[in-house]
């Protein structure tokens, strides 16, 4: 098995800079996810690792080998595509066996390996079928079996679950985690679904416009987003704009929000000064609603919208000319028009410089 290093990789398509000096260190045997909005460069990163694209600048290493100029088949990687890319005219057996035949393995070895992969993915009863005789979930399993059968050091997965229905997607998430544990293979996984990324990954790289904004464990990127982009891309949040009115020390600042609210929050980038324009990011699930709260960062507003979500109710609360999203216990949720009091822990009000660019 092998880790992967990208060093200053830049890739341009005409005038589009798909990757802008991307550096990543992916450890041996981890599930490493590239997460970001459409067009941020996730697939291009995967294709550069696979060897389907050659970087304009920078190097790619798999293990100790510089593979930057090697052909895809010289890299010992395998890719699972979003649309599965199965051969329609080949039975499942031959689809899975394809890479082994290319490598000219003896027939008995091919049969042994195909059976092993098919059993692992629980599709051994489907080996005689054609792809059009399979459900989407079964096709997905065939695609994964075909990728692992060659025993690659690195498994590259490009939005592999996006064509599956919601239930199956949850089940397959667990299977991918189990598969990785069992095989010990390094997985580089691409998704724009943040919950999928947080739930399956050892580490996540959050990408934006061809750059890496933050690399960290799922807990790190969720709890300590390094940039405003990461804070608002991961999880749900209310964003309030304002001006630093006081620097309080220990990384805390007081922010005067447009409309007159005053809130104490945490300076996430460091070095904020009085008078700087900022944005305060607050996650609804971290706001505490209840009449018992008093003092700093306690607000009272009026519910403008209540949406029952099952295990919680989402409330929009109007306060000081702003609308803040919070959650409430559905059994005690106030109705629209009713007052609600809530507390925002200063640790949970994350303050970022307002650069004006995003
Ligand atoms: P998505 O989630 O929509 O798949 P992505 O994050 O995977 O997006 P990429 O497919 O890596 O994004 O694309 C990054 C940028 O490079 C985009 O602006 C895209 O339009 C551009 N791009 C990618 N491939 C090519 C290509 N072959 N020719 C021209 N431009 C390309």
Ligand 1 pocket member 18 (CB < 6 A): yes
Q: Whose CA is nearest to atom 1 of ligand 1?
A: 38
The protein residue with its alpha carbon nearest to ligand 1, atom 29, reads 13
The rounded distance, in Å, linking the Cα atoms of 92 and 74 is: 25
| pLDDT tens string 151-173 | 899 999 999 888 778 888 888 89
Q: Beta strands 211-216 and 277-282: pairing type?
A: unpaired
CA 232, CA 221: separation in Å to the nearest integer? 11
Q: Cα dihedral angle (205, 42, 144, 88), rounded to 10 degrees?
A: 170
Q: Say if ligand 1 is within 6 A of residue 43 CB.
A: yes
Q: Is 83 in the pocket of ligand 1 (CB under 6 A)?
A: no
Taking 3-state DSSP, the helix, strand and coil percentages for the chain, each rounded to the nearest 5, stand at: 30, 35, 35
Q: Do 92 and 142 contact (CB within 8 A), yes or no?
A: yes
| Ligand 1 lined by 47 (C-beta under 6 Å) | no
How far apart, in Å, are the Cα atoms of 169 and each of 51, 80, 122, 222? Answer: 28, 15, 16, 22
Q: Which two tokens stand for residue 247?
A: 């620097």
Domains of the chain: 4-231 (3.40.50.300), 236-353 (2.40.50.100)
Length of the chain: 358
Strands (E), the chain: 4-13, 16-26, 31-35, 57-62, 65-66, 77-80, 154-158, 186-191, 203-208, 211-216, 238-249, 252-257, 262-267, 277-282, 288-289, 298-308, 313-319, 322-328, 339-343, 349-353
Contact assessment for residue 34 and residue 42, using Cβ atoms and an 8 Å cutoff = yes
Residue 117 phi/psi, 5-degree rounding, is -65, -40
Give the separation between CA 184 and CA 152, rounded to whole angstroms: 10
**Residue 219 C-alpha from the chain's centroid:** 12
Q: What is the pLDDT of residues 307-323, one digit of tens each?
A: 999 989 999 999 988 99
Q: Could you read off the pLDDT tens digit of each residue along the chain, which spans 358 residues? A: 689 999 999 999 999 999 999 999 999 999 999 999 999 999 999 999 999 999 999 999 999 999 999 999 889 899 998 887 899 999 999 999 998 998 899 999 999 999 999 998 889 999 999 999 999 889 989 999 999 999 899 999 999 888 778 888 888 899 899 999 988 999 999 998 999 999 999 999 999 999 999 999 999 999 999 999 999 999 899 999 999 999 998 999 999 998 889 999 999 999 999 999 999 999 999 999 988 888 899 999 999 999 999 989 999 999 988 999 999 999 989 999 999 999 999 999 999 999 865 5
Q: How far is the CA of 140 from the centre of ligand 1 (A)?
A: 23
User: What's the 3-state SS for 168-184?
Assistant: HHHHHHHHHHHHHHHHC
Q: How far apart are the first and last CA of the chain?
A: 39
CA 82 to chain centre: 16
Reported ipTM: 0.94
Nearest Cα to Cα of residue 199 among 171, 224, 165, 236: 171
Ligand 1 center from residue 99 Cα (angstroms):
27
Give, to the nearest 10 degrees, the angle between helix 107-120 and helix 92-102: 130
What are the tens digits of pLDDT across the range 185-230? Answer: 999 999 989 999 999 999 999 999 999 999 999 999 999 999 999 9
């Amino acid at each position: 098995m092998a880790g992967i290093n990208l060093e200053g990789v830049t890739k341009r398509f005409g005038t589009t800079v798909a990757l802008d000096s991307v550096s990543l260190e992916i450890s041996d045997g981890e599930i490493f996810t590239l997460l970001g909005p459409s067009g941020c460069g996730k697939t291009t990163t995967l294709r550069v690792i696979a060897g389907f694209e050659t970087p304009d600048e920078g190097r790619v290493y798999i293990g100790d080998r510089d593979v930057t100029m090697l052909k895809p088949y010289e890299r010992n990687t395998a890719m699972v595509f979003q649309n599965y890319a199965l051969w329609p005219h080949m039975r499942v057996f031959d689809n899975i066996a394809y890479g082994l035949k290319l490598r000219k393995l003896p027939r008995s070895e091919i049969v042994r390996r195909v059976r092993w992969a098919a059993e692992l993915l629980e599709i051994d009863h489907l080996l005689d079928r054609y792809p059009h005789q399979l459900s989407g979930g079964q096709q997905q399993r065939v695609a994964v079996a075909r990728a692992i059968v060659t025993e690659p050091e690195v498994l590259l997965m490009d939005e592999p679950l996006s064509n599956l229905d919601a239930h199956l997607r949850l089940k397959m998430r667990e299977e991918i985690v189990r598969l990785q544990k069992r095989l010990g293979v390094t997985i580089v996984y691409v998704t724009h679904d943040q919950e999928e990324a947080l739930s399956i990954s050892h580490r996540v790289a959050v990408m934006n416009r061809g750059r890496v904004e933050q690399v960290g464990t799922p807990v790190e990127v969720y709890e300590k987003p390094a940039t405003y982009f990461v804070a608002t891309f991961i999880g749900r949040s209310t964003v309030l704009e304002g001006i630093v009115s006081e620097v309080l020390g220990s990384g805390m600042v007081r922010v005067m929000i447009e409309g007159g609210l005053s809130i104490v929050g945490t300076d996430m980038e460091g070095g904020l000064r009085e008078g700087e324009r900022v944005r305060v990011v607050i996650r609804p699930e971290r706001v505490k609603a209840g009449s018992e709260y008093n003092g700093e960062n306690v607000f009272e507003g009026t519910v403008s919208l209540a949406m029952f979500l099952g295990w919680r109710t989402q409330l929009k609360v109007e306060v000081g000319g702003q609308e803040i999203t919070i959650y409430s216990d559905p059994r005690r949720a106030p109705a629209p028009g009713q007052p609600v009091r809530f507390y925002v822990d200063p640790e949970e009000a994350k303050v970022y410089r307002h650069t004006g660019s995003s």
